[in-house]
A = this chain, B = another copy of it.
Amino acid sequence: MFSVVTFGEVMMRLCPPGFAKFEQAHSLNVVYGGTEANVAVSLACFGCRTTHITRFPDHALGRSAAATLRYHGVDTSYIRYGEGRLGLYFLETGAVSRASQIIYDRYDSAFSLIKPGDVDWETVLQGADWFHWSGITPALSQNATDCLAEGIRTANRLGVTVSGDIYFRSNLWKYGKRPQDVLPELTAGCDLVLGNRQNFDELYGVKAETFEEACKGMKVIFPRIRYFTDTERQSVSASHNRLTAKIFDGTTTISSREYDITHIVDRIGGGDAYLAGLIYGMLHSDDLQFAVEFGAAASALKHTVEGDANLVSAEEVEALVGGDTSGRLRR
């Protein structure tokens, strides 16, 4: 059983039922999620051993967030508790031409107060196969960034594969640093990066006409990175998307088939589901085509699951990878 460690903030998500607008909500559905934890939960549902590291406020809501990760099979024994609030986000679900909307309320979270020394990275990463982080953590605070940097360094030293989702949410950075200031050091420790040409240009000044050329430019700066990956989402409407994924191994780009997601249930976490699927695929096979197909199929399935995390099993993904898109009733 492969073992994956993830690190990042987990928020309470509050969502009006059905298609109600915020103004119509008299109750809000509660889910807990965060981009890296979503990867952990999905991998746990696939049967991997996963550990998520974060920091929660030491009250019933922080404990409930941890309990939810545990519910889905993620090891929560390294989670820290202390001062600070629980990050929140409010999600209104759109349909057709009405976009879904998110109101973030995540500043000053307990996670943003995590600092170097809070995590015993040596112990946590001992024996792990993979470590995953995202560009949201360095957006939150210097100390969280430093703690993450410790983790990446330790992973590199212990030979744990490192993946970074470097979409960096430009509107989050409020503590004085710019993405360009801190992301390069973190990116340098990655074996696999999720990003696109625009990120590579904005963050590292890599200018190129194609994804492949941009990746090659990245490799010059960050020689450790072996794989670049991304998904492409065609948004026909809020209810209907088309999705493909691709991975570039320095030489060749391997693309998944396209999924036509005609009746979206919940599109939050689609990218995280892709990464979880890709990681699963790469851990279980040397065939990059299999891995990228597994990731894309996982992401397609996520769009039919309520909540941030992809709760489908590896068997369900395999059936879809195998070509059964019929959704036929299983008795």
Which residue numbers of A lie inside 8 Å of B, CB to CB? 14, 17-30, 59-61, 63-64, 67-68, 70-73, 85-86, 88, 90, 92, 94-105, 107-108, 169, 171, 235-240, 259, 261-265, 267-268, 297, 300-301, 303-307, 311-312, 316, 319-320, 325-331
Given contacts A67-B71, A68-B71, A71-B71, contact A311 B23 (CB under 8 A): yes
- Judging by beta carbons under 8 Å apart, are A306 and B19 in contact? yes
Given contacts A96-B261, A102-B331, contact A26 B23 (CB under 8 A): no
- Judging by beta carbons under 8 Å apart, are A329 and B99 in contact? yes
- Docked pose: A330 CA to B259 CA in angstroms: 23
Tell me, rounded to whole Å, the shortest Cβ–Cβ distance linking A243 to chain B: 11
Since A26-B29, A95-B327, A263-B263 are in contact, a sample of 19 more A-B pairs with Cβ atoms closer than 8 Å, ordered by chain A residue number, is A19-B305, A21-B306, A24-B307, A85-B105, A85-B107, A94-B304, A94-B327, A95-B265, A96-B261, A96-B263, A96-B265, A97-B325, A98-B304, A100-B330, A104-B331, A236-B326, A237-B325, A238-B327, A239-B263
A325 to B, closest residue via Cβ: B97
The residues of B that contact A306 with a CB separation of less than 8 Å are 18-21, 24
- Judging by beta carbons under 8 Å apart, are A97 and B304 in contact? yes
The residues of B that contact A107 with a CB separation of less than 8 Å are 85, 108
The residues of B that contact A328 with a CB separation of less than 8 Å are 99, 235, 238
- Docked pose: A20 CA to B306 CA in angstroms: 6
The residues of B that contact A312 with a CB separation of less than 8 Å are 21, 98
Q: What is the oligomeric copy number?
A: 6
Given contacts A99-B328, A329-B100, contact A30 B30 (CB under 8 A): no
A sample of 23 cross-chain residue pairs with beta-carbon separation below 8 angstroms, ordered by A number, consists of A14-B28, A19-B304, A22-B64, A23-B311, A67-B73, A70-B71, A88-B105, A94-B304, A94-B327, A95-B327, A96-B304, A96-B327, A97-B320, A97-B325, A99-B327, A100-B327, A100-B329, A235-B327, A236-B326, A237-B325, A237-B327, A238-B328, A239-B327
